Amino acid sequence: MQTVTFNVKSALNSTEHKTLAERVFDRVSQMTSLVIGGEKDFNSIALEGVTPQAFEHFIRFEPTANTSWIIPRRTLNHRVTKKQRFTTEETAKLLRAAQTIALAEEVFGNTEKAHKWLAKPFAAFDHQTPNAYMRTEFGAAMVRDALYRLNEGYFA
């Protein structure tokens, strides 16, 4: 008779058993090199500000993402030169972009499909792209809502 062992802890920590929100937190952590375990972490990280390295990590992880609205190049260069953290607003923009892109990637199952959807104009977004809409918190909330509806099987 063969004995089969089953590690409950590792099974529960596997990606397939995590909620959508947990998978998004994990993906944002990968994108930014920040430790994000929940919604509260977004707030505390935004208040503290991130280093330019977190932004550069995001760009390496998401090279096709349009990031010019997060922080102007000149300001980024200044932050790097002076070794300054991003402001709360700049950090919130970075986290908003990462969270929305991560959610799209989780909903669509891969980066290519997610980026294609994010770059396509929709009537629901005033014939703008989700990428353009996520520049404001209100627009990003609408994009995330559409993604949650798609994930649940509703048309966005």
Q: 5 vs 67, which has greater pLDDT? A: 67
* Residues 58 and 67: beta-carbon distance below 8 Å: yes
What is the phi-psi region of residue 148: left when phi exceeds 0, alpha when psi lies from -120 to 50, beta otherwise?
alpha
pLDDT at 14 (0 to 100)? 55
Q: Which of 43-52, 58-67, 98-107, 130-139 comes out lowest in average pLDDT?
A: 58-67
pLDDT at 15 (0 to 100)? 56
pTM: 0.86
Residue 1 CA, chain-centre distance (Å), reads 48
Q: What per-residue string of b and e applies to 39-55 under the rule 16 or more CB within 10 Å gives b? A: eebbeebbeebbbbebb
pLDDT at 9 (0 to 100)? 47
pLDDT at 13 (0 to 100)? 52
Picking from 4, 21, 22, the residue whose alpha carbon sits closest to that of residue 13 is 22
The model's confidence at residue 8, banded by pLDDT at 50, 70 and 90, is very low
Q: State the Cα–Cα distance between residues 66 and 85, nearest whole angstrom.
A: 21
Q: Which amino acid is at 35?
A: V
Q: How many residues does the chain have?
A: 156
pLDDT at residue 105 greater than cutoff 50: yes
Whole-number Cα distances in Å, 142 to 29, 50, 52, 139, 150: 23, 25, 28, 5, 12
* Residues 70 and 140: beta-carbon distance below 8 Å: no
pLDDT per residue as tens digits for the range 19-36: 999 999 999 999 999 999
